[in-house]
Structures are given as structure tokens and as C-alpha cells.
Amino acid sequence: MARNRPSAERDAALREIKRLGLNPERIPRHVAIVMDGNGRWAQARGLPRTEGHAAGESALFDTVEGALEIGLDCLTVFAFSTENWRRPASEVRYLMKFNESLLVRRRDELNERGVRMLFSGRRDWRVPKRLLRHMDESIELTKKNTRMDFVIAFNYGGRAEIVDAVRKIASDVADGATSPEKIDEKSIARHLYHPEVPEPDLVIRTSGEIRTSNFLLWEAAYAEYVFTPVLWPDFNREQLFAAIAEYQSRDRRFGGVEERK
Ligand code: FPP
């Protein structure tokens, strides 16, 4: 809980953290989640894959509630990757509509809870114009909120993000605004999609898959990873708290010998 929050909000989060038996000194500032397993969850029930995505919505909003309860600064979720365009056209169409309707149905409630919505990813021709408009409206609606940042990675790929940063830096070099010798890790980080958001401390991936899948490649360099076999629609705030307990049991050394303060 690094932010300057109203004291009532801070006290409530602290009470909840203690009730859960978590260490208030080691609550991650930023948790990022790969919400995986919707299709398998549906198939196991003899339902179309799209029903799994629909069921993933309640899992997501229970997790958001949990994140608010313990006062996370930031929660990022992987909603659609640059690779997801390769899915059958009917599923891609469903996901575009689903994401759009979810934004429209949920943004007021997020706004009332003091959540600032941000989007991370490429705004290219493949993303429907209407969805882009709803994203912009959600950003505008929630831009003054300070309780928690909710970053929705949409048409996001970690490599694409680094490519986009390199393009911006190359154009600064061409304009004479910087020179190749001045490029360092800090300047690359400044050109990522959301340099103002702290790097994730914890990345959670559901459904038993143990890989990063091009998620936050640069930002998660020192993150702890928690992989759980739970399929995304069965995830909830309790699972989030369990992942944080696991995170707290790890020894973060950042390549050194002591935990960074
Ligand atoms: C992965 O399951 C899940 C997705 C591709 C989409 C998840 C999206 C949401 C729950 C909504 C998020 C939307 C916003 C706007 C926050 P999968 O289909 O890869 O499952 P499988 O691995 O079992 O096939």
C-alpha cells in the first residue's frame, strides 16, 4: 500500500490484510494476471468455449473486489493478446463484443469504487472502432480516480510493446532529440505503454500453463510468478489472497543477496 490514501480506506485495507493473515509490509503494489482456462472450463461442462469467457467475468470482478479490499495499487489483466487474432473468427467476434459490453456494463461500478481504468496494447485497425471509443470513454470517465489502477491489456503483446518503444526512440534519434549512446533501460521503460504504472511484483497465471505467453516481457523482469491449476472461471478473491500469501513466502533478491526495500 504505497499510495497516499484517505486514512479510513487505508485502515479498512489493513484490517482485511490482517484478518487474512497476510503481512501488511509485503503486499505487492501491482499484481498482473493471465486469465487462462475459460475454454477448457466450458468444454469440461459440454458448453461452447464462449460460455467460459462469460463465466470469466464474475471471476474477474470478484478478483477486482479482493484487490480493492486489500488496497492493491494496480491490477493488470490480459484480456486479449496480439496472438488471439489467430482464434476462429467466430470466437474473435464474440470476444470483441464481450469486451465491449463488459466495459459498458461495468465501468460505472468501477468508477464508483474509485478505480482508474487504463488500456495497454496496440490500437490498430483490427480493433473495432466502437470498442476503441468505449475504451476512450472509460478512460475519460475514470481518469481522476486514485484508489486503484485497473489496466486492461487488450491487443497486447510484450514484444509488440517493445517494438513500439523502439520505434518511438528511433524517431527521437532521427529528430536529434536523443542519441544512441543515451539509450538505456530507463529510457526504454519510459517509452512503454504505461511508464507511470509500477512494474508488477506478482504475475499469476491460471489453468496450469507454465509460460509467460508474451505478457509484460519487459515489466515483469523481476516479478514473482505464481501458477495455479485453477481454471479462470473458478478463480476468485480467495485465490488472489492465496497467491499473495505464496508471493510473501518467496525471497525476492533482485539478483542481489538481500530483499530490496
Ligand atoms: C483465456 O481463456 C481467456 C481469454 C482469452 C479472455 C478472458 C477475458 C475476460 C475474462 C474478460 C476481460 C475483459 C475486460 C474488458 C477486462 P482461453 O480461451 O485461452 O482458455 P483455454 O486455454 O482453456 O482455451
Q: What is the secondary structure of 238-261 as a DSSP string?
A: HHHHHHHHHHHTS---TTSSS---
**Cβ within 8 Å of residue 16, ≥6 positions away:** 69, 70
Residue 129's alpha-carbon distances to 12, 132, 136, in angstroms, are 40, 5, 11
Kindly state whether residue 52 falls inside one of the protein's structural domains.
yes
Q: Which residues contact 111 (CB under 8 A, 6 or more apart)?
A: 141, 142, 145
Amino acid identity, residue 189? A
User: What is the rounded CA–CA span in Å between residue 242 and residue 239?
Assistant: 5
Domain containing residue 187: CATH number: 3.40.1180.10
- Please report whether residue 66 resides in a domain: yes
Q: From ligand 1's centre to the CA of 98, what distance in Å?
A: 10
Mutate which of 33, 34, 38, 43 for ligand 1? The one with the most ligand atoms within 8 Å of its CB, which is 38
Residue with the smallest CA separation from ligand 1 atom 15 is: 99
Nearest CA to ligand 1 atom 5: 80
* Segments forming the whole domain that contains residue 178: 17-248
Do residues 92 and 155 lie in contact, with contact meaning Cβ atoms separated by under 8 Å?
no
User: Which residues are CB-neighbours of 239 under 8 A, at least 6 positions away?
Assistant: 63, 228, 230
Structural domain includes residue 4 = no
Tell me the whole-structure pTM to 2 decimals: 0.95
How far is the centre of ligand 1, averaged over its atoms, from the C-alpha of 95 (Å)?
8
Tell me whether residue 1 is in a domain. no
Query: What is the count of structural domains for the chain?
Result: 1
Q: For residues 244 and 200, is the Cβ–Cβ distance under 8 A?
A: no
Ligand 1 atom nearest residue 80's Cα: 5
How far away, in angstroms, is 15 Cα from ligand 1 center? 32
- Residue nearest to ligand 1 atom 1, measured at CA: 36
Q: Are strands 202-205 and 148-156 parallel, antiparallel or unpaired?
A: unpaired
202 lines ligand 1 (CB under 6 A): no
Per-residue pLDDT of the chain (261 residues; tens, 9 = 90+): 556 678 888 999 999 999 999 999 999 999 999 999 999 999 999 999 999 999 999 999 999 999 999 999 999 999 999 999 999 999 999 999 999 999 999 999 999 999 999 999 999 999 999 999 999 999 999 999 999 999 999 999 999 999 999 999 999 999 999 999 999 999 999 999 999 999 999 999 999 999 999 999 999 999 999 999 999 999 999 999 999 999 999 987 788 876 555
Nearest CA owner, ligand 1 atom 4: 79
